[in-house]
Amino acid sequence: MRYKQASWTDDGDRYEPLLSEKAPKTVDIEDSPLPEELTRDSLELPAPAEPELARHYTRLSQMNYGVESGPFPLGSCTMKYNPSFTEDIAALPSAAVHPARPDSTVQGTLALSYRLQDYLARIGGMDAVTLQPPAGAAGEFTGIGIAKAHHQHNDDDRSEVVIPDSAHGTNFATAAMAGYDVVELPSGDDGRVDIDALEAAVSEETAALMLTNPNTLGLFERDIERIADIVHDAGGLLYYDGANLNALLGRARPGDMGFDVMHYNVHKTFATPHGGGGPGAGPVGVTEKLAPFLPAPHVREREGDDGRGDYEYYRPDHSIGKVHGYYGNWPVLVKAFAYITRLGDSGLADASAKAVLNANYLAERIPYEVPFGPFHHEFVASAGEQDAADVAKGMLDHGVHPPTTKWPETVAEALMTEPTEGESRRSLDQLAAAFGAVHGEDDGTLAAAPTRTAAGRIDQVSAARTPQLSWQALDSDD
C-alpha cells in the first residue's frame, strides 16, 4: 500500500488559510458596556458560503490523521473507534438540558446519571460512583482526595503515596498535588511489582498505593491479592488507575482484586472521543467505606410522592465537596452510557478479549524485541539501536500512526503499542508491515522522516521553548 497525505498549500507553501482570512466580514461594534480600553471598533468574522466552509474542513481533515484514517496504536491511550450512533444519541434534544433546571424537571437526566453510576460500579466491582470529574487526571485527583479525607476523618494523617516506576506520570503529579510525598517502587525483573520492594516501601505513613492492572507494560499483576494484603495490613488504601481497564471488561473487576478506589477513563474504555485533548470524563468508583466522602452533589433514587421511584441530588455525609459543575461532562457521559448499553455484558467482554488477542498477535508479528509477555491489551517493544522517535516518524510515511515512544523508561527506546479491539487482522498486518519497513531503513532515511505527510519533521525544541500560542501572533508572510 502506497501512502501520501494531502497537503493543501498556496504558492508560498502556506497551509490552508484560516476562515477569517478566506472570507472576512467586518462587523461594526457601536455600543458596548465594557470600558473603552477593553473594546475595539470592529470585529472580523468569517462569512464563507456553505460549499467553501465544507471544503475548508474537508481539506483540514485530509491533512490530519485520526481513528477514521487508519490504525492508531498509541500505547496507554486506547484509541478505539468512536461509533457514530453515540453522537446521534448525545445530539438528541432531551440530552441538551439546562444545568440549572429543578430536579423535578430533569428526571430523565438524573435517571441516566443514576444508571450510569450503577453500570460503572458493577463493571469495576465498586459500591458507589461519582460522575463529576471531567478527565482521567481529575479523576485521579478526586480519588486520592477521597482517600485523604478518609484517613483524616479517622485521625490518621499519613504522608506518603507509593507508586511503581512504570506508572503514568499523572500518578506522581496527583500524589504531589494532594500534598503527599511520593515513594517510587522499582519493578521486578519480570516487569511487575517487586513484592520484597513493596514490603520495604510501605509503612504507617502509607496513605495509598496507586497501581494500574494490567500495568503499563501490558502485564497482569499476578500477585495482586498479595499486594492488596500488604497495603491494607499497613493501613493504606489501594488505588486503581483505570487507564488499562479495557483489558478487563466483563472478565475481571478491580474491586474483586482488593482495590478501594478507582477512576474510569470513558474516553478510553467506553469509546468517547479523545479529540483536541478532550472532552473527557473520569468518573470515580469507591467501596462502601469510602462512599460517604464522594463529591457532592450525588444522584440517588428515592420513593416519589406517587409511590414510584424518582431521583434527586444529595450530599454524602463527609463529602469532599464539588469537583466539577452540574452533571459533569454531560454529552460525554451520555455517549458512554449509550456504548455500555449497546454492548451489554457480553459485548464488553468480547471487546476486552479482542483487545488482548490483537495486542498479542501484533507483538508476534513485529521485528523488534519485545522483552516481556504474554500481554493483555498492549505491549512495549524496544527499538534497540534505533531511536524510538525516528521509528515513529518513519511509520507516519507508511500511513499508520506510530506507538507511544520512549515510555515507560524501564524499557530502552520503548515502543508502547496498543492496537485496541477495533482493528481487523488486515489492519494489524498493515501495522506489522510498517514496523518491518522502518526496522530495515537506514538511519539517514529515518532522520529525514516523515516525507509523505502534510507537515514534515517538527522542530520540537523550538516549539517547546518559543511557543506560538495564538494564530494572531503568526506573521502572514511566514
**pLDDT value of residue 12:** 65
pLDDT of 22 over the 90 cut: no
**Local structure of 25: helix, strand or coil:** strand
Checking phi first, is residue 435 left (phi over 0); if not, alpha (psi -120 to 50) or beta?
alpha
Domain count, the chain: 3
State whether 257 and 275 are in the same domain. yes
State whether 298 and 168 are in the same domain. yes
Any idea of the CA torsion for 402, 408, 410, 412, to the nearest 10 degrees? 30
Last residue of a domain, one of 341, 376, 410: 341
The burial of 152, by beta-carbon neighbours within 10 Å (0-12 exposed, 13-18 middle, 19 or more buried), is given as middle
Last residue of a domain, one of 314, 341, 368: 341
State whether 44 and 96 are in the same domain. no
**pLDDT value of residue 187:** 95
Domain that holds residue 410: 347-465
Question: How many other C-beta atoms lie within 10 A of the C-beta of residue 379?
Answer: 28
CATH number of the domain encompassing residue 375: 3.90.1150.10
CB-based contact 398:438 (threshold 8 Å):
yes
How many percent of the chain have pLDDT more than 70? 94
pLDDT of 477 over the 60 cut: no
State whether 183 and 236 are in the same domain. yes
Residue 208: name the closest of 143, 153, 124 by CA: 143
Range among 91-105, 273-287, 307-321, 341-355 with highest mean pLDDT value: 341-355
In a domain, residue 438? The reply is: yes
Segment holding 162, helix H or strand E: strand 160-164
**pLDDT value of residue 40:** 73
In a domain, residue 354? The reply is: yes
State whether 386 and 280 are in the same domain. no
Segment holding 299, helix H or strand E: strand 298-303
pLDDT of 340 over the 70 cut: yes
State whether 321 and 414 are in the same domain. no
CATH number of the domain encompassing residue 214: 3.40.640.10
In a domain, residue 77? The reply is: no
State whether 143 and 210 are in the same domain. yes
Q: Considering only 15-19, 48-52, 121-125, 209-213, which range has the smallest mean pLDDT?
A: 15-19
